[in-house]
Chains A and B, each alone.
Chain A
Amino acid sequence: MTLTAVPRVPVAEVPPPLSLRRRALLVCGWIGPAVIAVAFAGWLIAGVLPFPLGPDDSESKVVEFYAGGMHVVLGIGLATIGVSLLSPLVAAISHLMDTGEPGARLVSLVQLVSGTVTAVLLFVPMLIMAIIAFRPERDPELTVMLNDLAWLLFITPIMPFIIQNLAVAASALFDDASPFPRWMGYLNCWIAFTFSFDVLALVVHRGPFAWNGILIFWLALTTYSVFLLVMGLFVRHQALLPEDDDAPATSADLVGEVVQ
């Protein structure tokens, strides 16, 4: 290749291509809004939204819902795909936390582990719903039991997510070199708080504290969506920052600099 192959557009006007790391970050960032879009689409198609089944619903209503037709199976299947998209976003958050002070690496691992457990605990209930819809002609009591299992597994295991929130908050508030701004620390603390009382769904069968209640399902759905949107867009924002501070530097990079 010779100099004549240089494009006619002046080099200065062409934005430099993103490094592999930044392209990967960009994809992981867009995953946040994508989880919301795909999962919501699935739930709307299946009829889980806008009015989900509640603990107080009759046997026949529960059976009717799962026997509703192909759209139920397809919708739940789509939601399964939606929530399983989570893991790249979780990894990207830890990757960014790793660019803080070296002493904060453990907190980044905490985020990674608890975020992974959260992803699993969102994925499995969706799978159980799909299993219920697979054979809805079974004994109605079993369908109700599986429906309880799916919903309570979906709503009440809150601790992994709270730990994930607190890990992000710890990075934002206590690590001065963290890429996460302080407001995101407070936001994560608040989101953790809005989940903290979801265990009430284990004992309450109707009203605002039931698994489909406004202070349990709707509040958690809202704040979790805020979490995915804010974290995802922040990862995207970090991916598009000017290249000069590309981090984290690996030991190989440092050796390269010394050699040069």
Chain B
Amino acid sequence: MTAGVTARAETGRRREGPAEPWLWGFLLADMSVFAAFFIAYLWDFGSDRAGFVAEASHLVVALGLANALVLLTSSFLVVRAVQTHRSGGDPRAALAGALVLSACFAVVKVVEYTLEIGDGHTLTSSTFFTYYYALTGLHLMHVAIGTLLLVTWRRSVRPGGRRVSTRFVEGAAGYWHMVDLLWILIFSFVYIGSHA
């Protein structure tokens, strides 16, 4: 039975591309939901341009930009970790860096939320802020899931640990890049686009 199971696991592995095709389908479907959010946002933005611009002026663009740079850097470190993992090396240093940056992202986000709520901008105070909290909150949930994947990966490469498969590593990295890409889009639509 064990031999059969191993055989299934091996034949299930696509060697021509990273991770597995279904993972990429999942990421595309995940981003499609965000795309629906963006379309709804732009729809409402178009119907109340002045209101959205006035509300968006309360956001601290520098914090959004800082978080974009934080995630871009973490993505770079994850790429390095994948390369190291594939060559059989120890990716823990690069992963630790990515995890620290992930924590930085969360801290900046909490600071931002504290500032907004302190100024009286909550989930229901305006249509703009409903979108702001819905989009950034959903994204933060993705950061948390991505962080969990990176932690699982890092723990598995400890001495004596059971090393996760390359398929898992590539999947986790793909997910993390999606998290990064989504933030760039949220930053563009919500922070910058609303000033146009």
Contacts and interface: CB of A to CB of B under 8 A. Distances in A.
Contacts of B33: 193-194, 219
Given A196-B141, A203-B123, A215-B36, A177 B29 contact: no
Contacts of B118: none
Interface in B1-53: 1, 5-6, 8-9, 12, 20, 22-23, 25-26, 29-30, 33, 36-37, 40, 44
Interface string B36-75: 1100100010000000000000000000000000000000
Interface string A176-210: 11000011011101100110110010011001110
Most buried by B among A177, A190, A214: A190
26 contacts: A101-B5, A176-B6, A177-B1, A177-B5, A182-B12, A182-B22, A183-B22, A183-B25, A186-B26, A190-B26, A190-B30, A193-B30, A193-B33, A196-B138, A196-B141, A197-B137, A197-B138, A200-B123, A204-B124, A207-B44, A207-B127, A209-B130, A215-B36, A215-B37, A215-B40, A219-B33
A158 to B, nearest CB: 13
B134 interface: yes
Contacts of A186: 22-23, 25-26
Nearest to A190: B29
Interface in B80-131: 123-124, 127, 130
Nearest to B29: A190
Nearest to B37: A215
A212 to B, nearest CB: 14
A116 B179 CA distance: 33
A190 B34 CA distance: 12
Contact of B134 (A183, A194, A209, A219): A209
Interface of B: 1, 5-6, 8-9, 12, 20, 22-23, 25-26, 29-30, 33, 36-37, 40, 44, 123-124, 127, 130, 134, 137-138, 141
B20 A197 contact: no
Nearest to A197: B138
Closest 6 pairs (CB-CB, A-B)? A186-B26, A176-B5, A208-B40, A183-B22, A186-B22, A190-B29
- Chain A interface size band reads 20 to 34
A203 B22 contact: no
B12 A204 contact: no
Interface of B is mostly: helix
Contacts, number: 52
Nearest to B44: A207
Contacts of A207: 40, 44, 127, 130
A172 B12 CA distance: 12
Interface string A207-235: 11100001100010000000000000000
A190 B124 CA distance: 27
B134 A214 contact: no
Nearest to B25: A186
Contacts of A187: 26
Contacts of B23: 186
A193 B27 CA distance: 11
Nearest to A172: B22
Contacts of B130: 200, 204, 207, 209
B95 to A, nearest CB: 21
Given A176-B5, A182-B20, A203-B123, A219 B36 contact: yes
A96 to B, nearest CB: 16
Interface in A71-100: none
Contacts of B9: 176
B124 A200 contact: no
B26 to A, nearest CB: 4
Given A196-B138, A207-B40, 6 more contacts: A101-B5, A176-B8, A186-B22, A187-B26, A196-B141, A209-B130
